[in-house]
C-alpha cells in the first residue's frame, strides 16, 4: 500500500512521456536497487517524438527458463491511477523483494512497463512498453521465455479474474486458475474482449507465449480522478500478491518444460 500511496498520491497522474511518469519510474528503479538488484532501463519510443523507458530486473533461478511478471506504471492524464495501475506495480515490486536471493526453479524477470494506456482515440495506440519489450527480445531471450503474467488493476473489486485474449497458448491461464482456486482464492476466466488487448499480456500472447492478465472486477472509478489511494483495498491487493508468491514458488522444472512446449512462436 505504501507503493500505491507514493505513486498515486505523492506523484499523482502519470501520463506516458511526462515528468510524472519519469518520476514514478525513478521511484521503482530506486526501490529495486535498494533491494540489491542490478536494474536495467530500456528506452521506449512513444508518439510525438518522446521517449520513456521500461524498468527490468532478473532473479536467476535453477533453470534458464524465464517467467516475466510485469505491470504498467503510467496512468490516464486525469487519473491518480491507484488501482490502474499502481496496484499492479506494488505487487511486482513486493514480489521482487520476496524472491530476492530465494531459490526457485524459474528465472523470474520483474518488469515495470511504461506507456500502456492509449495515447489517443486509436485503440491500437497503447502497450508501447510491453510491445517494444517483446519486439526487442534476442533469439536467446526468446528461447528462454516461457510465460508472462500481467498484474493490472488488482487493488479493488469482488471477483478475481484470470484473463487472456484466447488467441495464444492457454496453459499458463489454466495453471494460475487451478492454483488460485485450489489455494483459497476462487479465480474465474473472462476473455479479454479488447480488439487489440486490454493489458500488457497482449504482446506476449500474440507472439505465441503463454501469458495471462490478472484483474479484480468491477472498478467504477478506473480512468477517473476518483482512482485514488483510499480507493484501493489492502485485502484484495494482498490476496493477489500472496497467490502469485505461492504460484511462482511452486513452479517446477516439469511445469516450465510444459510451458515451453506450449509456445507457438
Cell of 136: 526487442
- What residues in the chain have per-residue pLDDT under 50? none
Name the helix (H) or strand (E) containing 235.
helix 234-250
**Nearest residue to 164 (alpha-carbon basis) of 91, 213, 116, 117:** 213
Separation of alpha carbons 103 and 203, rounded Å? 29
Q: What is the pLDDT of residue 175?
A: 98
- DSSP-assigned letter for residue 9: I
Q: What is the pLDDT of residue 188?
A: 98
Residue written as grid cell 519489450: 133
Q: What is the pLDDT of residue 119?
A: 81
Q: What is the pLDDT of residue 256?
A: 98
CATH number of residue 129's parent domain: 3.40.630.10
Separation of alpha carbons 61 and 28, rounded Å? 22
Domains identified in the chain, total number? 1
Residue written as grid cell 483510499: 230
**pLDDT tens digits, one per residue of 112-135:** 999 999 888 888 889 999 999 999
- As to burial, measured by CB atoms within 10 angstroms (0-12 exposed, 13-18 middle, 19+ buried), residue 49 is exposed
Residue written as grid cell 526457485: 104
**pLDDT tens digits, one per residue of 9-26:** 999 999 999 999 999 999
Range of the domain at 138: 2-262
Amino acid at each position: 500500500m505504501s507503493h500505491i500511496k507514493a505513486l498515486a498520491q505523492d506523484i499523482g497522474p502519470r501520463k506516458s512521456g511526462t515528468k510524472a511518469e519519469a518520476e514514478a519510474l525513478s521511484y521503482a528503479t530506486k526501490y529495486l536497487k535498494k533491494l540489491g538488484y542490478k536494474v536495467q532501463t530500456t528506452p521506449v519510443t512513444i508518439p510525438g517524438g518522446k521517449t520513456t523507458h521500461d524498468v527490468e530486473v532478473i532473479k536467476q533461478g535453477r533453470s534458464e527458463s524465464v517467467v516475466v511478471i510485469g505491470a504498467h506504471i503510467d496512468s490516464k492524464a486525469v487519473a491518480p491511477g491507484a488501482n490502474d495501475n499502481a496496484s499492479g506495480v506494488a505487487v511486482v515490486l513486493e514480489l521482487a523483494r520476496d524472491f530476492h536471493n530465494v531459490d526457485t526453479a524459474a528465472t523470474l524477470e520483474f518488469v515495470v512497463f511504461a506507456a500502456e494506456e492509449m495515447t489517443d482515440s486509436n485503440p491500437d495506440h497503447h502497450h508501447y512498453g510491453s510491445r517494444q519489450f517483446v519486439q526487442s527480445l534476442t533469439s536467446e531471450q526468446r528461447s528462454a521465455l516461457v510465460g508472462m503474467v500481467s498484474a493490472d488493476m488488482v487493488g479493488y473489486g469482488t471477483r478475481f479474474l484470470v484473463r487472456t485474449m484466447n488467441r495464444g497458448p492457454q496453459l499458463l491461464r489454466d495453471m494460475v486458475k487451478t492454483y488460485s482456486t485450489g489455494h483459497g482464492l476462487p479465480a474465474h476466466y473472462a476473455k479479454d474482449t479488447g480488439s487489440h488487448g486490454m493489458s500488457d499480456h497482449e504482446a506476449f500472447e500474440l507472439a505465441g507465449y503463454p501469458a495471462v492478465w490478472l484483474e479484480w472486477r468491477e472498478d467504477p472509478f478506473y480512468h477517473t480522478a476518483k482512482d485514488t489511494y483510499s480507493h484501493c483495498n489492502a485485502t484484495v491487493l494482498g490476496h493477489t500478491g500472496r497467490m502469485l508468491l505461492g504460484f511462482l514458488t511452486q513452479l517446477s522444472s516439469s511445469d516450465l518444460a510444459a510451458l515451453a512446449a506450449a509456445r507457438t512462436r
